[in-house]
């Protein structure tokens, strides 16, 4: 019997995925367990394997945005028919991505010429049609106006991220509190430890490692900041799975997670950070690497930004924004001096976290970062 291959659910909140590419062509034979396609969800890109041996019949071409559970291909044995398989096709043969894009732009698919297998209209065909329409409109504009416009469809991971951020801002009572940290001791300690970590352990020591350690300690003291709101219940986590927002080369952010950071020493945190960032750079993060965060840190300081007001990730109640360390004139012991200053911003869900515990959490975090020797528990 034909074996259906469906769009898998790669994480609990996934509703759709993109077929990045097929490793076999339509009509080719494939063996059970062989990589069959590359799928992109919001968090990761992963390969799926053939659930059985057979001849591949592709239903959803590469580039299609497909709902979880929808059939993307069928494996049949020689001589078998593909009868009874639900391809999702209607009167017009078009991929889900093409239909969605046409709906967003009000395009009549009868006017679009399909270039896919058997004349299937692909997302690229709709885009090409849109470009032709825009070019026609632009011809009536001054040349400089036409050249200054570009259409960037809101599809794939960008659309998913937009939906999640909108959901967070619409369903969460965001409030942001700021504090500044005198990073004099932190900068000096890191400079002293950097060569030791690199030469003895082969590990690059970043400020983020110190911040993760300090955050985990502060969360244990103020666990309400490390909680989530589920239905009518506040779930307070006694473990600290710290997500670190990392910019991807192809755009957007991905958030690998350091699990049980409260039980890790600075060396272990620095080492795992190195490994996760490298995997993110190579686009090799697994679902386990990016799932289960209870609190998130976004370090905009590495781009020279002083401060920001980050949006809470759905399923969490707070996120920490970390600004750049900038030398500024400050008053120390009634004397004006130059010190490295870092701003922290805590955005939290006011439905769950009251102002006082949020402020006390930030104060405790500030204390740890201004006295970083406390974080050197290598036991």
174 is catalytic: no
Question: Quick count: other Cβ atoms within 10 Å of Cβ 332?
Answer: 11
Out of 182, 354, 367, 377, pick the active-site residue: 354
Say if CB 297 and CB 242 are below 8 A apart. yes
Q: Which element (helix H / strand E) includes 103?
A: helix 96-105
Q: What are phi and psi of 175, to 5 degrees?
A: -145, 140
350 is catalytic: yes
Say if CB 265 and CB 379 are below 8 A apart. yes
CA end-to-end span of the chain, whole Å? 59
Residue whose structure tokens are 């990730």: 313
Q: What percent helix, strand, coil does the chain show, rounded to 5?
A: 35, 25, 35
C-alpha angle 254/257/260, rounded to 5°? 170
Out of 11, 131, 350, 377, pick the active-site residue: 350
- Please list the active-site residues: 350, 354
């Amino acid at each position: 019997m034909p074996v259906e291959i469906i769009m898998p659910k790669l994480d609990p909140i996934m509703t759709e995925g993109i077929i990045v590419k097929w490793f076999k062509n339509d009509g080719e034979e494939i063996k059970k367990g062989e990589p069959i396609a590359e799928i992109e969800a919001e968090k990761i890109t992963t390969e799926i394997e053939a659930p059985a041996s057979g001849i591949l019949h592709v239903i959803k071409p590469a580039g299609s945005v497909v709902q979880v559970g929808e059939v993307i291909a069928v494996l049949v044995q020689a001589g078998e028919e593909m009868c009874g398989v639900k391809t999702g096709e209607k009167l017009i043969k078009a991929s889900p991505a093409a239909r969605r894009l046409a709906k967003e732009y009000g395009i009549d698919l009868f006017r679009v010429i399909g270039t896919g297998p058997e004349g299937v209209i692909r997302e690229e065909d709709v885009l090409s049609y849109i470009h032709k329409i825009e070019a026609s409109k632009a011809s009536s504009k001054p040349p400089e106006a036409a050249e200054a416009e570009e259409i960037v469809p809101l599809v794939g991971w960008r659309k998913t991220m937009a939906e999640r951020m909108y959901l967070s801002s619409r369903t969460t009572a965001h409030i942001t509190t700021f504090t500044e940290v005198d990073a004099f001791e932190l900068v000096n300690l890191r400079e002293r430890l950097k060569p030791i970590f690199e030469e003895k352990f082969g590990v690059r020591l970043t400020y983020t490692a110190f911040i993760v350690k300090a955050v985990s300690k502060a969360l244990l003291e103020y666990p309400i900041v490390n909680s989530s709101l589920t239905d009518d219940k506040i779930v307070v986590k006694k473990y600290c799975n710290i997500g670190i927002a990392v910019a991807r080369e192809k755009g957007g952010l991905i958030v690998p997670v350091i699990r049980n950071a409260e039980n890790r020493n600075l060396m272990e945190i620095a080492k795992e950070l190195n490994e996760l960032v490298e995997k993110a750079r190579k686009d090799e993060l697994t679902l386990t690497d990016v799932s289960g965060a209870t609190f998130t840190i976004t370090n905009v300081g590495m781009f020279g930004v002083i401060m920001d007001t980050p949006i809470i990730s759905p399923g969490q109640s707070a996120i920490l924004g970390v600004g750049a360390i900038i030398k500024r004139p400050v008053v120390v012991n009634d004397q004006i001096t130059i010190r490295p200053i870092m701003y922290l911003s805590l955005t939290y869900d006011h439905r769950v976290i009251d102002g006082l515990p949020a402020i006390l959490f930030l104060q405790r975090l500030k204390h740890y970062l201004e006295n970083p020797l406390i974080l050197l528990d290598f036991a």
